[in-house]
Amino acid sequence: MPSSPVKFFALLLLAASLCFSACSTVNPARTQAESNLRTFKTAYVVTHGGSSFDMDQHLQNALLDRGLKVSAGPEKAKPTDVEMYAIYTDTWRWDLTMYLKSLQIQFYETKNGTLVASGSFSNGILHSWPDAGKKVSEVVATMYGEKKVE
C-alpha cells in the first residue's frame, strides 16, 4: 500500500488509464493469394450517397491515387466492363461531434464476384476523431500491401 494518499491516487489513475485506454486501429488487410490488385486498371465504387457521400469520394480518391480509372454509382448500375468493384460499410457515432467508429472495405473481381481483398479500421472505446479520408487511404494502402506511413 502506498505511503501517502497522493501516491495511491496516482497509482489508481495510472491503473485506470491502462485498463481503459483504447486506440484506433487499421487492421491488417486480407487478400486472396492469387490476386494482385496492381493488375487492375479500372474500378467501380458502389456509392451510398446521403450521409456517406464524403466516404464515397474518399474511396474513389484512394483508388485514383493508385492509378485506377474509377467510376461510381449504385450497385445495380455496376458496369460489367470494370475489372473490380469496391463496397464499403462505414459506421459513425456521436460524441460532441460525429466520428468514424468503424470502416470495412471489400474489393471484388467483377467477372466472377470473387472477393480479392478486404481491409478495416476500428476506433476504440476511448476513441479519437480521425480524419475519415486518411483512414480510407490507410485501409486501402494495407489492401495494396503498402507500408504504413506515420
Q: Which region holds residue 27: left if phi is over 0, alpha if psi is between -120 and 50, else beta?
A: beta
pTM for the whole structure: 0.75
Mean pLDDT of 4-33: 54
Q: Is 57 helix (H, G, I), strand (E, B) or coil?
A: helix
Q: Rounded mean pLDDT of 59-65?
A: 96
Q: DSSP for 27-95, please give it.
A: EEEEE-TT--GGG--EEEEE---GGGHHHHHHHHHHHHTTT-EEEEE-GGG--TTSSEEEEEEEEEEEE
**Does the structural domain 21-143 have CATH classification 2.40.160?**
no
Between CA 112 and CA 117 the distance in angstroms is 14
20 pLDDT band, cuts 50/70/90, is very low
Residue 129, amino acid: W
Q: What is the mean pLDDT of the chain?
A: 79
Q: What is the average per-residue pLDDT within 57-61?
A: 95
Residue 24 pLDDT > 60: no
pLDDT of residue 126: 59
Mean pLDDT over residues 20-49, rounded? 71
CB-CB neighbours of 83 under 10 Å: 18
Give tens-digit pLDDT for 109-134. 998 889 999 999 887 665 566 678 88
List the chain domain ranges: 21-143
C-alpha span between 44 and 62 (Å, rounded): 12
